A and B are shown apart, each in its own frame.
Chain A
Amino acid sequence: MKKADYLTGLALILLSVYVLAESWRMPRMEHLQAHPLSVPGIVPAFLASVLLIFGLILVGRSVKAGGHRLGLSREGIRKVLSDPGNLRLLLTAVLTFVYAGVLVGHTPYSLSTGLFIFVFVAVFEWRRGMSSREWTRVGLAAAVLAIVVAAAVSYAFERLFLVTLP
């Protein structure tokens, strides 16, 4: 956690400095004869100052605990990537991103939704050495779930809630 805290602290410092600079550059509304304390940059600058202090505390604390020695190695990265939990996480992130970030809005909604559910179920329920009978059962379950959910969600939102589907 100390390494994560060190990196978070650095990210907070960078964010705060950026927000402070942006706040300083925001208009002072002098042409509107606005009160100098009502200008748009004052609250972001206040918040950035507080976050800067928190960032410095995080960095200081983690440096004291040795968190600045990141010690990244090829072996360590390989270990993280080969962990089954991390692999499942990565796979979920990729599938959800491809569905929500790429397919939705570019392909017919029902089709992309059905495809996402089918692939998600099939990928996560696949096991090495599955018999063809087991595989057919998983495929069938994935297909039924995909068709039912895609049809039900599309119908509910388009017909009942009158939403134009993406």
Chain B
Amino acid sequence: MGVLIDNLTLFLKAIGGFITPWALFHMAWSTLLGIIIGALPGLTATMGVALITTLTYKLHPDLAILVLICVYVGAIYGGSRTAILLNIPGTPANAATTLDGFPLAKQGLAGRAMGVATSGSVLGSIIGMFFLATLAPLLGNYALKFQSYEFFWLAIFGIVISGHLTSLDDPIKGWIAGFLGLMTAMVGQEGIHAYERFTYETTQLMGGFALIPAMVGAFGLAEVLSVMRNPPAEMAKNPQDSVIPRLADIMKYKRTIVRSGLIGTVIGIIPGVGEDIGAWVSYAAARRKSKEREKFGKGSIEGLMAAETGNNAVVPGAIIPVLTLAIPGSAPAAVLLAAMFIHGIRPGPMIMVESPLFVYQVVAMVFFATIAILIYGIALTKPLLKILAIPRTRLMPVVFVLCVIGSYAITSRVFDVWVMLGFGIFGYILREMKYPMAPLVLGIILGDLLDKNMRRGLVLTDGDITPFFTRPICIVLWMITLISILMTIEPVRRALQRLFQILSAR
């Protein structure tokens, strides 16, 4: 009980800290910008958070992270507008939203669909926020038990699960992307003997590839190339009905909301999986459990609610491993993690010891961003439609200019502009060949963790690999990893399914 009161006190203190005109001003513009970024086809949440990171260097760390979280929450919500009105997901997270959002708009219910998306997004964020506040401190304390062996498996587990879930049709492509990311992280001075690997005596490569230029390239330039290649989208319909969320919709689908919120949070916690998977899994679960299954895909309020609750619940969920393990739960969370490092914040297992208030400050940031999307969701429909009408031929060059200056501004090196260009072209080619980007990004982040902990673990045991397989947390991690790999081999999958059936029958 005492712990609960302590935590509540910290949360209220964090909330109070942000009720200042300056913080509210940053909250207002950044959430609005996030919604616009999310709504514009071709601008994703990851690209938005990466580009805005470059604008926050001079801000106080708390305000900088507040801005980035508001952009993140806003972008995931903003994408629903485009999904409903244009049948194009504003961000990949809103792909499932198109299935029922657009049919509703075609039936003349665009306003109601947007109201459902607003209520789903707000409630999803609140459910995720609740778990962020309760699970992050617990996981933070638990993570203190992690040693090299556990961190090694956590890196492998993250890559394998992220690779599998982001490339369900062909998991090997997800794994290749993840291992290419890990390999990318091998470039530069390594952390044990300070030996320069794959630098070819170039001083620019000594520190390895900087994460922000790489992400700006992989998500910014690659997206610019992709948008310019595809034919332009048709313009939106103007909603005639009310966009105000209805309490009746919330009450009717409360079970779906809670289930989707839980699914979204759990998917968020899994390293490198992200909002799109959160929405799809929530949507599939809602369809399986629904009494109105036949309406799904034809304009189901329940389907739309599930997708939008699921994707927004991923956001706080994805921040949980960022804070407690310094491992991102999604691609935008990876940029958020990089931004925390840039601003001198050290997330990881020590966070609850060193700065417990920061965890609750992040919860408060999600809280304020959620309130902001609710206000904007109700008040800003028509002006947003005007922004959606900006032609891509005028938007994309501006986005690219920001990609260039954003990559350069971190360390004032033209070399980082080249890194952005290289990763942009590489990312575009991989994307065209159906390789997911999230495991690649996760790999770049986890590379150093894997490198240090694999070698440290082997040195500690003098080459004995037994502890890697026998420690309790390791057992769980390697078993899930192994099952995930085995499940992709058809005969093994069938045999495992039969085995589970026999075991459950007994």
Using a CB–CB cutoff of 8 Å, the interface residues on chain A facing chain B are 1, 4-5, 8, 12, 15, 19, 22, 26-27, 29, 32, 34-44, 46-48, 50-51, 54, 57-58, 85-86, 88-89, 91-93, 96-97, 99-101, 104-105, 109, 113, 116-117, 120-121, 124-125, 141, 145, 149, 153, 156-157, 160-166
Contacts and interface: CB of A to CB of B under 8 A. Distances in A.
B231 A96 contact: no
A145 to B, nearest CB: 6
Contacts of A58: 172, 176
A76 to B, nearest CB: 17
A153 B399 CA distance: 11
Contacts of A96: 221, 224-225, 400, 421, 424
B450 interface: yes
Contacts of B459: 35, 37-38
A159 to B, nearest CB: 11
B78 to A, nearest CB: 22
Contact of A116 (B231, B397, B408, B409): B397
Given A12-B176, A153-B401, A89 B229 contact: yes
Nearest to B448: A43
13 contacts: A15-B183, A35-B458, A37-B455, A44-B186, A58-B176, A92-B225, A96-B221, A96-B424, A100-B403, A105-B414, A113-B401, A153-B405, A166-B412
Nearest to A23: B197
B183 A117 contact: no
A22 B200 CA distance: 11
A85 B175 CA distance: 30
A41 B190 CA distance: 10
B182 interface: yes
Contacts of B403: 100
Contacts of A124: 228, 393
Contacts of A57: 172
B18 interface: no
A1 B224 CA distance: 23
A46 B183 CA distance: 10
Contact of B192 (A38, A104, A166): A38
B228 A92 contact: yes
Contacts of A15: 183
A104 B413 CA distance: 11
Contacts of B463: 36-37
A97 B404 CA distance: 11
Contact of A120 (B183, B198, B397): B397
Interface residues of B, number: 57
Contacts of A157: 405, 409
Given A8-B433, A88-B228, A161 B397 contact: no
B414 A51 contact: no
Nearest to B227: A92
Contacts of B60: none
A136 to B, nearest CB: 17
B175 A43 contact: no
Nearest to B181: A47
Contacts of A35: 458-459, 462
A100 B409 contact: no
A116 B224 CA distance: 14
A1 B433 contact: yes
A161 B421 contact: no
A149 B390 CA distance: 15
A123 B271 CA distance: 42
Given A37-B455, A120-B397, A164-B412, A54 B172 contact: yes
A153 B183 contact: no
A121 B225 contact: no
A121 B172 contact: no
A156 B396 CA distance: 19
B232 to A, nearest CB: 10
A161 B183 contact: no
A100 to B, nearest CB: 5
B386 interface: no
B252 interface: no
B180 interface: yes
A104 B414 contact: yes
Nearest to A122: B393
Nearest to A119: B397
B454 interface: yes
Contacts of A22: 198
Given A43-B450, A104-B414, A116-B401, A88 B229 contact: yes
